[in-house]
Chain A
Amino acid sequence: MAVGFDKGFQMHAQGMVLRTQRAEVIASNIANADTPGYKAQGMDFKEALAQASRQQQATIYKSNEKHFDIRTGSEDFLKYRVPDQPDTGDGNTVDVQMERNLYLENSLEYQASVQFLNGKIKAYKKVISGGQ
């Protein structure tokens, strides 16, 4: 098929899944903004996306249940943030202002993906209906 649906959607689909995960990570940072000793985490988006595409490409056929799964341990793209302010004394490294901005940015990027997908779907619909 010349126009591959999954080829058109693929990058956005993976990106959206990762963005929801990222939203989750940032939400837990903000929820724990007052927890003593909590260390803020962040997602290495480039690494995460690369890992997701690698997994997508490398789906192997298993003819025996003893065959190894090639999936590597996921979530090693989650890293601890380096605080840019000194410790206030309770060991917490969450910067709420920064996290809020990151969350906003993340949700805008997610909505951008949704919009792009909407456009694609519209285009496909036009193709299917023969432009009518």
Chain B
Amino acid sequence: MSLFNVFNISGSGMSAQSTRLNTTASNIANADSVSSSAGETYRARHPVFAAAMQEAAAGQQSATGVKVLGIVESDKPLNVEYSPSHPMADKDGYIYKPNVNVIEEMTNMISASRSYQTNVQLAESAKNMLNKTLTLGQR
């Protein structure tokens, strides 16, 4: 029954979107983490999505779920601030702040949570369709 595949697909969408929400939460939480060298500084993380094509080709299915290929760190320049009185300042008086753009992360969060909701609604309505089918001819 191919309607059960809808659960797999929307489930893959939900897990991908929750990964995205996780990275967003981590980015926002670390937006103000300060360090004293560029190497130790937190960098914004983002997941990379890809259609799960291989599994689809193996099972001869036309419908494909989504999977998270990996998480990449942003290579935008870090925010370097001159603040000699800061306890974390290096010997030249600089502190290093993450390259997290909080506004960008907030919009990302809204988009991820809406996409998650859409996937939940898909599963919900597939469930209704299956329930209707299961009670077919019973009344």
The size of the chain A interface, using a CB distance under 8 A, is 33
A28, A41, A100, A114: which contacts B132 (Cβ < 8 A)?
A114
B9 close to chain A: CB less than 8 A: yes
In this complex, the member of A75, A104, A114 whose beta carbon has the largest number of chain B beta carbons within 10 angstroms is A114
A82 close to chain B: CB less than 8 A: no
Query: With contacts A104-B125, A111-B129 known, is A28 near B119, CB below 8 A?
Result: no
How many chain B residues sit at the interface, stated as a range, is 35 or more
Interface contact A24-B132, CB-CB below 8 Å: no
Interface contact A24-B63, CB-CB below 8 Å: yes
Among A31-39, A53-61, A64-72, which stretch is in contact with chain B? A31-39
A17, A27, A36, A111: which contacts B122 (Cβ < 8 A)?
A27
A52 close to chain B: CB less than 8 A: no
| Contact flags B86-104 to A (C-beta < 8 A → 1, else 0) | 0000000000000000000
B contact patch SS: helix
**Nearest B residue (CB) for A92:** B49
| Contact flags B3-32 to A (C-beta < 8 A → 1, else 0) | 101100110110011001000000000000
Question: A34 contacts which chain B residues (CB < 8 A)?
Answer: 16-17, 20, 49, 66, 111, 115
Report the Cα distance A27→B63, complex, angstroms: 8
Query: With contacts A36-B49, A38-B51, A111-B129 known, is A24 near B139, CB below 8 A?
Result: no
Can you pick out 19 interface pairs between chain A and chain B where the beta carbons lie within 8 Å of each other?
A: A20-B1, A20-B129, A24-B5, A27-B6, A28-B63, A31-B10, A31-B66, A31-B119, A32-B66, A33-B118, A35-B49, A38-B51, A103-B122, A107-B128, A110-B132, A117-B136, A118-B139, A122-B137, A125-B137
